[in-house]
Structures are given as structure tokens and as C-alpha cells.
Amino acid sequence: MRGDSSVIVGVPQAIAVLDLALAGIASELGDSPFDWLASAKNPPKPAADMPAEARPASVGVEVEETPKLVYTPLLPDSPLSTQAKPVRKAPPVVAEIPARVWREADGADVVMIVQGEMPDDRCQQLAQAMLASVGLKDKVLGFIGYEGKPAAEDVRAEVATAGAGHVLVMGQGPLGILLGRNLGVEGWHAAGGADRLGLDMAVGVTYPLELLLKQPLFKRLAWQHLLAWGEHQSQTSKGV
């Protein structure tokens, strides 16, 4: 019971207030107990959400931030991806070089079969030095060349038209054209070098002139090829 005689508080209410005070609840210690039934009928309106920056931090309480979800974009090849898929371009079509056989061997005693265009001056000087090394210094040198993939018969026809008595095949390319299959220079010599490649004369095979100029180490092997070519010429002249 309160000291003010104008307000009479019942014993049960006083006991309830005392229990709340002993329990440490100070918000209920008013002139009268909180009307729970009226609060349930008229609930208070929820306060408007405040931005996270304006909210007061709770004292002594650590608030964990909500982890941000990181979405990994789908690969363009994924069927669920909305990204523009890259257009795969077809490999470029390389136009094949038309087959062509040329001849610069009028009145030649020796012809060299080369791939590509006419050898330049440096290559021609090297060719003359190679002939001189096997005793053909005074012979007239001519060239027969080709571009693309001509038939072996066309190359042989140009050699026959030149009328030279000696022929030297320069490199794996011309050798493959005359043989009809790929075979390296060393492979041809390892097989004995007896195959005349369909030509009725002594045939020699060595490396291209351009390669011998760029890689002088191959000149030693070319020298051995020229010696074998000279032996074949001697055997042919003797009718062996």
C-alpha cells in the first residue's frame, strides 16, 4: 500500500510490483502495473527501418555483418549462360600454288634441279664451285626448277629437253617429286644412291644451295655426296 491515501493499491498488485523489483525489472515500477491486455489489443507501430550506418551499436554486443554473396559468372560455353558465345572461325584456306616447271638450261652440260625460283648470284657461284670440286669446272651449268606440286613426268621431260649429260638434284623437295614419295637426302644415299629417279644418266643428290650458304656445316656432307655422284658418273661412262 502506498503512502498517498488518495490512491489505494491492492495487496496483490503491491506484491507483483515487489516481485518485479526483486527480479531487477525497473520499467514496471510505475504508479500502476502495465496493462498487458490493452497493449495486445493496440500493438505499437513498428519503427521505420533505419540505415545500418545510423543504427546505434549495441554496447558489449558484437554484430556480425551479413556476408555478401559472390556469384561466379557462368562460362560462355555453359548452356545457362546469357553471355554472347564466341564465334569460332574456320582456319583460313591456303590457296595451293599452281604447278609450274621452268628451265634455264640451254646448251647446258650439267643441270641442277631446284625448288622455287632461279637461284641468285651467290647460289650460282656456290654451284660453280661445287662442280669444280669434282672436275666439272669447264662444264656449262643450267637449272631446272618448279613451283607447287608438278608431276614427275613433267620434270623429267624438261631434263630430257635440256639434253645435259649430268644432273644434280638439290634437296629433299625435288627428290620427293621424282621419287613419288618423301625421302630425305641421307636416306637416298643410305639406300645406295643407285636409283636414277627415272633419268637415263648419272644422278646426284645433295642439299639445297640456300641451305649450304646458311648452314656451312652441311658442306662437308655435300662434299661426300658429290664424291658419290662422281663415282656414279665414272661407272655410267664405263657402261657398268
Q: Which residue do the cell numbers 608431276 mark?
A: 151
Q: Which residues of 33-54 are buried (b: 16+ CB within 10 A; e: fewer)?
A: eeeeeeeeeeeeeeeeeeeeee
pLDDT band at 7 (very low <50, low <70, confident <90, very high): very low
What 214-221 contacts at long range (C-beta under 8 Å, 24+ apart), as own/partner pairs, is 221/186
Tens digits of residue pLDDT in 93-149: 767 788 999 999 989 999 999 999 999 999 999 999 999 998 898 999 999 999 999
Whether the CA torsion 73, 77, 80, 85 is positive or negative: it is positive
SS3 114: strand
Instruction: Give residue 1's pLDDT.
Output: 44
CB neighbours of residue 222 within 10 Å: 21
Q: Of 98, 219, 210, give the one whose Cα is nearest residue 154.
A: 98
d(CA 227, CA 144): 22
Tell me the domains of the chain and their CATH numbers.
Answer: 1-47 (no CATH), 100-237 (3.40.470.10)
Q: Which of 92 and 162 is assigned the larger pLDDT?
A: 162
